Structure 1
Amino acid sequence: MPHSVPLRTTAALGALSVIALAGCAAPAADPAPTPTTDTHGEIAGAAELAEPALGLTSIDGDGRVSHLDLLEETTADLGRVSAPTSVHSDGRYLFAANASGVSIVDSGVWTWDHVDHFHYYRAAPALLGEVSGAGVATVATSNSSTTGGTGLFFPDSGEAVLLDTEALSKGEVVERFRLERAPGAGLVVPAGSFAAVASSDEIALHTGDGAPVGETTPCVEPAGTLTTRVGAVIGCRDGAVLITVEEGAPVVERIPYPEGTTAPRATSFANREGRPTVAAVAGDAGVWLLDTRERAWTLLPTPEPVVQATAVDDKDENVLALTADGRVLVVDGVTGAVRAASTPLVGASLAAGQPVSLIADQQRAYLNGPTEGRMWEIDFADDARVAREFTPESTPLFFAETGR
């Protein structure tokens, strides 16, 4: 049976919040007793852990930021940012955007993916500052929270900004470049040491310092992006563009939709972080799956329309989807058959147009219900069972799983 967990507020941002989060580590998550020669992802002042310090970092409608430690089931108040309209996360940072800029929150917990193994870290959480811009920015991140770049595109001004992610890991907000483009929809997508700026129906590659690289690539109505272990995906009206880096140079490949398809295009992608397959809603037709290793799309029919989808991309090929009445479906990624379904959890939030998010990791899924004032942990491998239900002190309007 699910159980409701009241969250206990520990401290405000500053010295007290740092102490509170540092004190949340369970014995299994203590710093490793011996140093490792592999320092990937490590930064000065961070403790390496034996397992990931997973948490749910949330922001309410007034900009109050809270962090729930999933091991200790305690919560810490990290302070306040400008009231957000949207929030994007890479698993460490939260980028809270509104019409005048982007506020950046460092949860202080992250995982470094080294392909065949992982490293886990904890440092002091912090509110890092704001990046000014006109219009609610689209945000694109890579799989690294200590290297490379983070892209922001401000639609009202057309400004394309690349932030230095290594500088973020040191508590500094540094712009690598700020380029002028035509106002409208757009993306700035990091790809290795390069960045792709998608706007005005084309993709232009740049170095990390903003210098143009090579020819532009057509991409009508760019929308949606995600970085996998293979490369960075950008959605276009006729398919997707995949950007990889080979021998120090960017490589651009087009992945068109299957010939003759009539399903609506993908405009937003989601998956278990780093995995090669990404999922996107295909209107009422079901779910698009894009395998970036195979460079191939698959249209996965679902027995009913869904409003969100994410690819777990595990050995069972699970795909998770959210229905309009707030149920979480566990879908067979080959046949589209529903393996399990939760009870309606976030129907009221969806009906009210609230920003519900369904997030998957290797073992669990997480869901926020702003109207319901709840967050849920779902065991999708066990008949979509609600494993834990959390009742935060402030409304979880936006949230992210951090430490992953």
Structure 2
Amino acid sequence: MISRILNSALVGVCALALTACSTGSDAPAASDPTTTAAAEGHGAVAGAEELAEPRLGLTAIDPDGAVSHLDLLDESVTDIGEIGAPSAITTDGRYLFAQTEAGVEVVDSGVWTWDHVDHFHYYRADPRLLGAVDGGGEARIATTNLSTSGGTGVFFEGSGDAVLLDTEALSKGEVSELFRLDAEPGPGMVVSVGSFAVVAQGGTAVGYTAEGEPTGLDEACPEASGTITTRVGAVIGCSDGALLATVVDDELTVERIPYPAGTTAPPATSFDNREGRPTVAALAGSEGVWLLDTRERSWTLIDAPAPLVHVTAVDDADENVLALTADGRVVVMSPDGAVLAETEPLVAESLAAGATPTLVADQQRAYLSGPSERRLFEIDHADGARVARTFDTATEPAFTAETGR
């Protein structure tokens, strides 16, 4: 993507800078290095620089597997390397987990944020390709908000392998498994929760230690689908609601959050939000949008203003929601479903062609990829959904992730 996307073609045209090929001048404020990361427990890794502000970027993999990183501050592009041709990616804001013929290949963008609840730490290191996790069939990947500790879950639907990766080892450049369990082939998830994990498959959610030993937790979760981690805990979607997994007094616990009584809307199957925030959003089929407040343990169903293909909870002071419509517009919605602002149809061509644009939100901006349009959009969702910058790409930006957040 952004590699062959924005590398030789754009570098040659733009004289090693993307400014001339983008619109607007609203780059984030500069992030000056302040120290060499050394503090334990704050997301530090040996050899990384600690920064005063997050160094946000768009890390991408093109259809042939070329990996690159666009720095959103200075608009420079770094080619990271080549992996196999990807069919899907998942990200935690630092790593990209790409599904290829080799299994799941892991890319380290080299930029990350450590959420310390009342403050944040920001880091930058060299980006690199880390290797692959073996497994058969489609992989379901569950990340957390911490990129230097805990675990990352991978479930291979074809082989039934349930894998918990060591995220601390990833931060040191190693692909290491904390456990690999044999499960039944089919849909499933491995969800990291502190020093534990929950394997959801076959109608149940079972707890394990990081060493793969059962904890005794065994909860019903029919048709498990979709997971996300907030500051409150890890959400696991079920057809009758959601499970909220947390660690209390060093023990893995699960709370059930059922859908409102009498609801007939389809269940949530995929969640998204501004990373770490308590409220998450999901499509309720074609009927509306589910909002799950993990602090209040409550669901809210709001009407969709138009047919939607993706939603994400910004969870700001106004509790706004962003949505991508089926005709390619980005819509800013209030928590009662009112449309506050919207863009023009930015990615209509991609959606008409069956491509999958990526929409991701952070505190200040949203980023939208247009594969068929060969363009990336930066949107100020708090300023009337204004398109702040655009980045033209030389090839199809099919797999894009915002990193450094």
TM-score relative to the length of structure 2: 0.92
SS in structure 2 opposite 1:284?
coil
Contact 1:99 1:134 in 2 (8 A): no
Cα distance, 1:162 vs. partner? 0.4
Cα distance, 1:183 vs. partner? 0.5
1:372 maps to 2:373:
yes
SS in structure 2 opposite 1:252?
strand
Q: Which residue of 1 aligns with 2:258?
A: 256
Q: Which amino acid aligns with 1:90?
A: D
Q: Which residue of 2 aligns with 1:20?
A: none
Cα distance, 1:355 vs. partner? 2.1
CA distance in 2, matches of 1:49, 1:8: 26
SS in structure 2 opposite 1:94?
strand
CA distance in 2, matches of 1:260, 1:100: 45
Counterparts in 2 of 1:134 and 1:8: CA distance versus 1, 3 Å: closer
CA deviation digits over 1:264-317, x for unaligned, max 9? 110000000000000001112111000000000000112222110000000011
Q: Which amino acid aligns with 1:253?
A: E
Cα distance, 1:216 vs. partner? 1.1
CA distance in 2, matches of 1:34, 1:351: 47
Q: Which residue of 1 aligns with 2:158?
A: 156
Q: Which residue of 2 aligns with 1:197?
A: 199
Moved more, 249-258 or 388-397: 388-397
Contact 2:38 2:44 in 1 (8 A): no
Contact 1:98 1:137 in 2 (8 A): no
CA distance in 2, matches of 1:267, 1:353: 20
Counterparts in 2 of 1:388 and 1:39: CA distance versus 1, 3 Å: same
Q: Which residue of 2 aligns with 1:391?
A: 392
1:122 maps to 2:124:
yes
CA deviation digits over 1:189-233, x for unaligned, max 9? 000000110111111110001000113111111000000000000
Q: How does 1:92-131 map to 2 (within 5 A)?
A: 92-98=94-100, 100-131=102-133
Q: Which amino acid aligns with 2:247?
A: V
TM-score relative to the length of structure 1: 0.92
1:316 maps to 2:312:
no
Q: Which residue of 2 aligns with 1:69?
A: 71
Counterparts in 2 of 1:386 and 1:177: CA distance versus 1, 3 Å: same
Q: Which amino acid aligns with 1:93?
A: Y
Contact 1:7 1:73 in 2 (8 A): no
Cα distance, 1:27 vs. partner? 9.2
Q: Which amino acid aligns with 2:398?
A: L
Displacement over 3 Å in runs of 4+: 6-11, 25-28, 33-39
Aligned-pair identity in percent equals 63
Cα distance, 1:38 vs. partner? 6.8
Counterparts in 2 of 1:345 and 1:181: CA distance versus 1, 3 Å: same
Q: Which residue of 2 aligns with 1:132?
A: 134
Q: How does 1:238-253 map to 2 (within 5 A)?
A: 238-253=240-255
Which runs of 5 or more residues in structure 1 are unaligned?
1-5, 12-24
CA deviation digits over 1:120-165, x for unaligned, max 9? 0000100000111101201001110000000000000111000000
Q: How does 1:2-401 map to 2 (within 5 A)?
A: 7=6, 28-32=30-34, 40-98=42-100, 100-333=102-335, 335-401=336-402
SS in structure 2 opposite 1:133?
coil
Q: Which residue of 2 aligns with 1:3?
A: none
Counterparts in 2 of 1:241 and 1:27: CA distance versus 1, 3 Å: closer
Contact 2:102 2:132 in 1 (8 A): no
CA distance in 1, matches of 2:340, 2:187: 37
SS in structure 1 opposite 2:286?
helix
Q: Which amino acid aligns with 2:286?
A: D
Q: Which amino acid aligns with 1:254?
A: R
SS in structure 1 opposite 2:33?
coil
Cα distance, 1:39 vs. partner? 5.0
CA distance in 2, matches of 1:155, 1:100: 15
CA distance in 2, matches of 1:381, 1:217: 40
Q: Which amino acid aligns with 2:137?
A: G
Moved more, 350-359 or 168-177: 350-359
